[in-house]
Chain A
Amino acid sequence: AQSVTQLGSHVSVSEGALVLLRCNYSSSVPPYLFWYVQYPNQGLQLLLKYTTGATLVKGINGFEAEFKKSETSFHLTKPSAHMSDAAEYFCAVSAAEAAGNKLTFGGGTRVLVKP
């Protein structure tokens, strides 16, 4: 069984400040990990993913995440927040390919960016 916990359902940051969104996962198999962003009344857009290899993953819009196996974490960061980063962010873990690669999502973190 897999699960994802996102610490903090809401995060408020000032424009230009560091964005840090926390994600911890549980998986019985080597995990594939994802961060998705959702704007109001929209679907989910992939920010970045970790499958194998380099543990620091760079994504779109200046975001990056680091896979830490010992901490079962996959935290998302962006050095300098922009107003356009205001959205909801979801961390997800994928089941194995043989199980259809279906995703288990965390509860989401809503980011508010203050001018």
Chain B
Amino acid sequence: DTGVSQNPRHKITKRGQNVTFRCDPISEHNRLYWYRQTLGQGPEFLTYFQNEAQLEKSRLLSDRFSAERPKGSFSTLEIQRTEQGDSAMYLCASSLRSVNTEAFFGQGTRLTVV
């Protein structure tokens, strides 16, 4: 297993365009998380899935953001009508559902909105 994979690694888009990111978790992991990290800050939780069910969404996740995890495998995060404030690193992590679990992170997708 090669770990958590995120694509693309970098994305530059014009304001108002839609963008979609993909995350492939570690294959046996049933939980998948999305975090956002702005420059000089720690990551902030956006949403998480258990299998295909989206169980929680942060207030940071405005209605322009949508995430899916069809069939409980890979996940996509879409941002519609991007704004400059959306520029950030978007991190995906996966874990097993367990009391002592740890999350494994992908390398992130860096979004720049110009």
Contact = CB atoms under 8 A, between A and B. Distances in A.
Interface in B39-77: 40-45, 48, 50, 55-56
Contact of A103 (B6, B45, B98): B45
Interface residues of B, number: 31
Interface string A72-94: 00000000000000000010100
Given A32-B100, A43-B106, A101 B31 contact: yes
A101 B103 contact: yes
Contact of A107 (B4, B42, B45, B56): B42
Contacts of A90: 42-43
A6 to B, nearest CB: 8
Contacts of B48: 100, 102
Interface size class of A (residues with CB under 8 A): 20 to 34
Interface in A10-48: 32, 34, 36, 41-46
Contact of A43 (B40, B91, B101): B91
A102 B56 contact: yes
A108 B35 CA distance: 15
B27 to A, nearest CB: 18
A97 B99 CA distance: 6
B31 A41 contact: no
Interface of A: 4, 9, 32, 34, 36, 41-46, 49, 51-52, 90, 92, 97, 99-108
Given A41-B107, A43-B91, A108-B40, 8 more contacts: A4-B42, A45-B105, A46-B102, A97-B99, A102-B33, A102-B45, A102-B48, A107-B40
